[in-house]
Structure 1
């Protein structure tokens, strides 16, 4: 859903972060002849994900699908969505891990949903939101067509997200906050929580922000026309956007610089975009994007 003409914008006061990071997500279209493999709850959040023993049923997956275990300095979220051979059922896991070819698959499995449904629920553990919705797909940062959907955003909960006895750290469309929210959500703005819709107000322009990169300008239009939802905690001084697996390599091959990091022209553009974000305070199930006339035309329906 695009941002609407009745959207009410309030400052989010998001500041420059030390890091710009991509949260990589994994999407698979399953074939009818892929072998059934057991799915288990991860044995740990850090190293040892492939040691879990609690069964969550089976899933058809190709034997060559490998997603490495977490390590001492790497604990990726690895949200994943599998489209089953019926062409409509989505199985979503987080953090997807498979340590050996042909072996068991690990990740908390959410309730299966239809790809033709409302697009809300999924494997983002901090918010309960979709693994696949809001992800920057292959070709979207390097092609000529605009990005025609909202994005997903991770912010540092310790700095930005709010929790109190009367405000449990989330709002629609999120259905939860992190289990540690009461201790670690230390933001002072009660409107900035899991599920908050952030967008760039209509009076801001690419020129006024001084954006220098083609991808930065594409993200500007997406964030102004559709916005981005807070879906997870970055757990450090970093701002994240969610991208499909392969986008980082495609981005580097096209532009000759990296998507993330701590410096550079694209990092600078990302920091300008985050600082320009405002909260759409009247976003809700009956006024998605704030309601009113959408800023841009709706994307077409999903085809077969």
Structure 2
């Protein structure tokens, strides 16, 4: 008797072959029948076109040059992103009554309305929206973007305030933008750049996913350079403005560091080499290496600010039990990151992030 037994009789084997062939055919048919799924993203969490400077990674051809920023103090510059509905009440929008207090006073029409009639139009605003007035020692830029019920149009303001529920909205109108567009323009008054592009969003400081967009920072104008002979004194693409008083405000000697400069951390720098201790700090570092951060405003004093959407700021407080501005460990990490930044000196319209092979995957298309 042979010790080698057949696995099955010829008849049984034929049934096995038919069964296996049937399974393979079914799988193949299933694959052919199933539509291909292209990854997409939520425009409310990850806005603007794939090629927007906010969504383009640093490239392999990036030219890193020194950027001296001497300020050690760090904090948050709050950005406001408000989605509106057809059912929201329509309210008047007025110029703010002041900068350091009494923003919610007066009925001065929007200054831009004389050139842009749409600036003077009432706006749909959620009835319960409150954006606090300034006070002594607290004069936020409060750049804002209101997404209209069409799901496409953003209306941007600077120095935004609404001190009581149901009241009018106060702020400097900074135009309309398309949430599917390049995302460059908006309500940051020093640069004319986006109110929400580059803002850290809800979840991004605390989840386990990388931040997949460029950031925004606000630094003291003392460190920014102003060259009156430049074709764009005090700024570079993608900034469309420099501060009105830039000739006096900007005192830095470094011609690479101007309004709109893209700052980044060189690839060889690590969290360990900088001595970072917080999860949020390490995530900011990774984003600064992969995407960088654009300078969008003058802080007005010896301080650096990271731009967060209000929802992200509130989430951080709720989860950690600390205000971002009171979290000394995170502040220490951000201060170390600022001390290590360089300028991507060849960032430009035709070489976003310096060009070359991107350090991170490009953003998928917006889902709707």
- Aligned position for 1:102: 166
Of 308, 330, 333, the match for 1:243: 308
- Distance across 2 between alignment mates of 1:200 and 1:62: 39
Alpha-carbon contact 2:71-2:220 (below 8 Å) kept: no
Who wins on radius of gyration, i.e. which is larger?
2
- Aligned position for 2:58: 3
- Distance across 1 between alignment mates of 2:325 and 2:291: 22
- Distance across 2 between alignment mates of 1:250 and 1:77: 20
- Distance across 2 between alignment mates of 1:283 and 1:173: 9
- Aligned position for 1:53: 108
* Deviation beyond 6 Å, 4+ runs, structure 1: none
Q: Deviations over 1:52-103 (max 9, x none)?
A: 4114221001221111221222211111111111111111111111122212
Determine whether 1:295 maps to 2:350: no
SS in 2 for 1:111: strand
Q: Deviations over 1:108-145 (max 9, x none)?
A: 11221110111100000000000010000010001111
Describe how 1:39-118 pairs up with structure 2 within 5 A.
39-50=93-104, 51-55=106-110, 56-118=120-182
Q: Deviations over 1:241-289 (max 9, x none)?
A: 100113233223433444224x722111111111111000000000000
Determine whether 1:228 maps to 2:282: no
Deviation at 1:220, TM superposition (A): 0.8
Change (3 A) 1:297 1:172: same
Determine whether 1:38 maps to 2:101: no
Output the TM-score relative to the length of structure 1. 0.95
Q: Which stretches in structure 1 are left out of the alignment for 5+ residues?
A: none
Alpha-carbon contact 2:157-2:175 (below 8 Å) kept: no
- Distance across 2 between alignment mates of 1:75 and 1:16: 19
Count of matched residue positions in the alignment of Structure 1 and Structure 2? 301
Determine whether 1:27 maps to 2:92: no
Output the TM-score relative to the length of structure 2. 0.79
- Distance across 2 between alignment mates of 1:35 and 1:236: 38
Report the RMSD for the aligned CA atoms in angstroms. 1.4
Q: 180-189 or 279-288, which moves further after superposition?
A: 180-189
- Structure with bigger helix share is 2
SS in 2 for 1:182: helix
Q: Which stretches in structure 2 are left out of the alignment for 5+ residues?
A: 1-55, 111-119
- Distance across 1 between alignment mates of 2:363 and 2:188: 24
